[in-house]
Structure 1
Amino acid sequence: MLWTADDMPSQKGRTAVVTGSNTGLGFATASALAARGASVILAIRNVDAGSKAAERIRQASPGARIEVYQLDLGSLASIFKAAQRIRAKNPRIDLLINNAGIMNTPKGTTVDGVERQFGINHLGHFALTGLLIENMLAVPASRVVTVSALAHQMARGIDFDDLQRESSYAPMRVYSQSKLMNILFTYELQRRLDQAGALTLSVAAHPGLASSELSRGNPATQRAFIKLIRPLIFQSTSKGALPTLRAATDTSVRGAQYYGPDGRWSRGTRGSPAVVESSAASHNKTNQRRLWAVSEELTGVVFPV
């Protein structure tokens, strides 16, 4: 059976935090949750852009409850500040959607001196989750949904000896490893939640090939090529958000599942959201635990599970 946004149960009374939600997949996710009655927090780097996004959501869903919080996932100081504000005002958090990310960017570092794709795509969300999750653990049906990508399959493992890419830097290779980290984190978090007897679930999702602004970091020639082929192979942003929305709201979801388009003939690039398989590398328990330990060390964030 095909699952669509119409299959989402009511989200009234629920609070959702969505990172990178002023545009693209994050905006589509936040809009759909607000339309179903959730109170949605847009956690974004540019507050002005977030305010405009909030107004667009209110226009589409009159009465929608939207708040905008400044969050720069490339700055631990910003993450700590945003998390403190969110927790203080929202003692109950039902959904945390770790959606924001960058892709295939030139070599650079965060303000904390960490390689940018590693720092923003993984470490930033690791820290944010660790700082917010205490407000989720006792909430029935609460979920952490971390958005990965098909590109995680390109990574055979994690190069723990060169996480900062000091010896070499290949943008797409680094991106694919950061997306593998998203799934390693998801699975390790669920193991810890199970051991703690928490009510929260940790789930991963990917959008397939969906129109978004994620490729804005690509070289100009690649952006032009993507623009040319987008109508042929990319699904819409609203469809690309469906795996995340199903992972966040479907009552049949279980912890450590991975949702994506089920298109058999499209190799997972398009289709209705369903449980799909992540790569063999994502199930490496040694790497799951090692990545967790490194992430705690680099962020200073220790989870209460």
Structure 2
Amino acid sequence: MMWWFHRKGPSGFSGASTAEEVTAGVDGQGLVAVITGASSGMGLETARVLALRGVHVVMAVRNVAAGLAVKESIVAKIPGARVDVLELDLSSMASVRRFASEFDSLNLPVNILILYWYQIKTPSPRPSQSAVVQICRLCLMWWFYRKGPSGFSVASTAEEVTAGVNGRGLVAVITGASSGIGLETARVLALRGVHVIMAVRNVSAGLAAKEAIVAKIPGATVDVLELDLSFMASVRRFASEFSSLNLPLNILILNDFISYGQSKLANILHSNELSRILKEEGVNISANAVHPGAIATKLFRNRTIVSALLNSIGRIICKSVEQGAATTCYVAMHRQMKAISGKYFTNCNITCPSSQALDAELAKKLWQFSLQTVSS
């Protein structure tokens, strides 16, 4: 948020710039500004800064006594400041006409007219910190629940995006399935009738997860196999064990992260190249890449600062595990995904990744490197 707040636009200023900063070096001598609501808040600060820059300020206020007090404080801090106070209640046309007559009698031009008028019928307390937080939450909630072309949003859960889907006869291999998004993905796919193969580094944790799934979903078909993607020996052993099961591989979901940032890019490149090869060979198999979003899982438990941030603001900006697994399950099983391949998905919708992720030559190089690595 601070980065966005301080990011400068074409003007050279940002959301963090002040009135004094944006008017630095400006000479307002000879100008006249009429400012409504100038006895407090933004109106008062506007009046002060314009007076500081040499502008003749006419404060149009409902409470003349308050206006005069503000005028005294401005003149005290800015010797030579020219400030007048006139009564004006914009909710009364009689007051507007009276103000116009009084202003006309001053024989001044109107170079700047600034309207800070807020008519509130009922008393309103000063916004508290909790009120500001509530407003921020409302804005975030609007974004969070806004649906994309698929009919789903960031807030959609894995169960919601797979509702009505029949996964009977399908087999899914899911890595990192003993916890977090991998576990939720395995649970939901099992719920939809998919035969789930949990590929995990910690077999005991995987077996415990399997028991929990089967206990909640009677008839769920779940197997647990050991797989450590950081060792080729483990990969080959897993491949041999999976082959011995004599099962097809309909869905492959990778939820393991070795080098987080690079692996994200590599996943997309690999998916794109695989999709290209499959299409070229006329094989009816889809390959797509998925970004689950920001989820407050244990991924950053060894990174104290990040973990602290997630613990403090995670409830506002992060998805739940259920929501984090949604896009994966959507891409794996939803009927809208038929014949869609080589795409990148976030929040259950197609998204355009970085230009690097769309580099076809880089994808081919990574594919060839991967082939050399696994065959060595």
TM-score normalised according to structure 2 size: 0.56
1:215-254 residue pairs with structure 2 within 5 A? 215-216=300-301, 218-253=302-337, 254=340
Of 199, 206, 230, the residue aligned with 2:291 is 206
Q: Assess if the C-alpha contact under 8 Å between 2:213 and 2:220 holds in 1.
A: yes
Q: Which residue of 1 aligns with 2:282?
A: 197
2:183 equivalent to 1:27:
yes
2:350 equivalent to 1:275:
yes
Give 1:191's aligned amino acid: R
**SS in structure 1 of the partner of residue 287 of structure 2:** strand
Give 2:319's aligned amino acid: Q
Q: Which residue of 1 aligns with 2:341?
A: 255
Q: Which residue of 2 aligns with 1:299?
A: 374
State the alpha-carbon separation in 1 of the partners of residues 372 and 161 from structure 2. 41
State the alpha-carbon separation in 2 of the partners of residues 23 and 51 from structure 1. 11
Q: Assess if the C-alpha contact under 8 Å between 1:42 and 1:68 holds in 2.
A: yes
Q: Assess if the C-alpha contact under 8 Å between 1:101 and 1:214 holds in 2.
A: no
State the alpha-carbon separation in 1 of the partners of residues 204 and 161 from structure 2. 32
By how many angstroms is 1:7 displaced? 4.3
Of 228, 239, 253, the residue aligned with 1:72 is 228
State the alpha-carbon separation in 2 of the partners of residues 87 and 259 from structure 1. 30
Give 1:61's aligned amino acid: I
Give 1:225's aligned amino acid: L
State the alpha-carbon separation in 2 of the partners of residues 250 and 36 from structure 1. 11
Identity of aligned residues (%): 33
Q: Which residue of 2 aligns with 1:94?
A: 250
By how many angstroms is 1:76 displaced? 0.4
2:266 equivalent to 1:181:
yes
State the alpha-carbon separation in 1 of the partners of residues 203 and 269 from structure 2. 31
Q: Assess if the C-alpha contact under 8 Å between 2:257 and 2:263 holds in 1.
A: no
Whose relative contact order is higher, 1 or 2, with alpha carbons under 8 Å and at least 6 apart?
1
Q: C-alpha offsets along residues 112-142 of structure 1, whole Å, 9 cap, x if unaligned?
A: xxxxx2xxxxxxxxxxxxxxxxxxxxxxxxx
Q: Which residue of 1 aligns with 2:204?
A: 48
TM-score normalised according to structure 1 size: 0.68
- The RMSD of aligned alpha carbons is 1.5
Of 355, 363, 368, the residue aligned with 1:288 is 363
By how many angstroms is 1:287 displaced? 0.5
State the alpha-carbon separation in 1 of the partners of residues 261 and 171 from structure 2. 31
Give the number of equivalent residue pairs.
218
Q: What stretches of structure 2 of length at least 5 have no aligned partner?
A: 1-150
Q: 1:228 to 1:252 in 2, by over 3 A?
A: same
Q: 1:77 to 1:294 in 2, by over 3 A?
A: same
**SS in structure 2 of the partner of residue 37 of structure 1:** coil
**SS in structure 1 of the partner of residue 288 of structure 2:** strand
Q: Assess if the C-alpha contact under 8 Å between 2:161 and 2:329 holds in 1.
A: no
Q: Which entry has the higher C-alpha Rg, 1 or 2? A: 2
By how many angstroms is 1:233 displaced? 0.7
State the alpha-carbon separation in 2 of the partners of residues 245 and 279 from structure 1. 23
State the alpha-carbon separation in 1 of the partners of residues 261 and 222 from structure 2. 32
